[in-house]
């Protein structure tokens, strides 16, 4: 089965590698919580044990998820571009306001931090546009002011 490429910026890849290292380092602490809770006796009514096992499961699932992302990662090359593409910072004129975003892969997207996915509705419509070009989006004219 061929996995889909995951587009990441160099910074996004570095952040995931750090998160992975932190989660792996957390394993002994979680194992200790489980051992301590197990010592309390009856596991069927042991909230500390159940909580520690749930934390272990979430941690292990996230470790597997990050490993899978990193295995399929394609780092977006930085550099000057003339069209909106993965890795570009773009300034948009939305008519009533101006917004700045960096176009990233879906894994890294976080609009609250100015990172939009190339797969998001706005990301899809601005991909490939050049400075000065406009497109209609949700009944509004969106114009590309700058690309870097």
pTM of the model: 0.79
Nearest to 16, CA basis, from 68, 86, 61, 79: 68
Q: Give the model's pLDDT for residue 2.
A: 53
Banded pLDDT at 43 (limits 50, 70, 90): confident
Q: Give the model's pLDDT for residue 64.
A: 97
Q: Which helix (H) or strand (E) holds 74?
A: strand 73-75
The CATH architecture one would assign to domain 89-147 is Roll (3.10)
Domain ranges of the chain: 6-75, 89-147
CA distances from residue 2 to 51, 71, 72 in whole angstroms, order as listed: 36, 12, 10
Quickly name the fold that domain 6-75 has: Helix Hairpins (1.10.287)
Banded pLDDT at 1 (limits 50, 70, 90): very low
């Amino acid at each position: 089965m061929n996995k889909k490429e995951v587009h990441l910026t160099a910074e996004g890849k570095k952040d995931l590698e750090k998160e992975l290292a932190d989660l792996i380092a957390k394993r002994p602490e979680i194992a200790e919580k489980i051992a301590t809770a197990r010592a309390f006796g009856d596991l069927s009514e042991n909230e500390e044990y159940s909580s520690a096992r749930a934390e272990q499961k979430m941690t292990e699932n996230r470790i597997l998820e990050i490993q899978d992302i990193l295995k399929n990662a394609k780092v977006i090359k930085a550099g000057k571009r003339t069209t909106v593409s993965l890795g570009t910072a773009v300034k948009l004129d939305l008519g009533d306001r101006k917004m700045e975003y960096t176009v990233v892969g879906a894994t890294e997207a976080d609009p609250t931090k100015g990172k939009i996915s190339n797969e998001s509705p706005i990301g899809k419509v601005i991909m490939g546009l050049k400075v000065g070009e406009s497109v209609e989006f949700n009944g509004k004219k969106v114009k590309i002011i700058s690309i870097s």
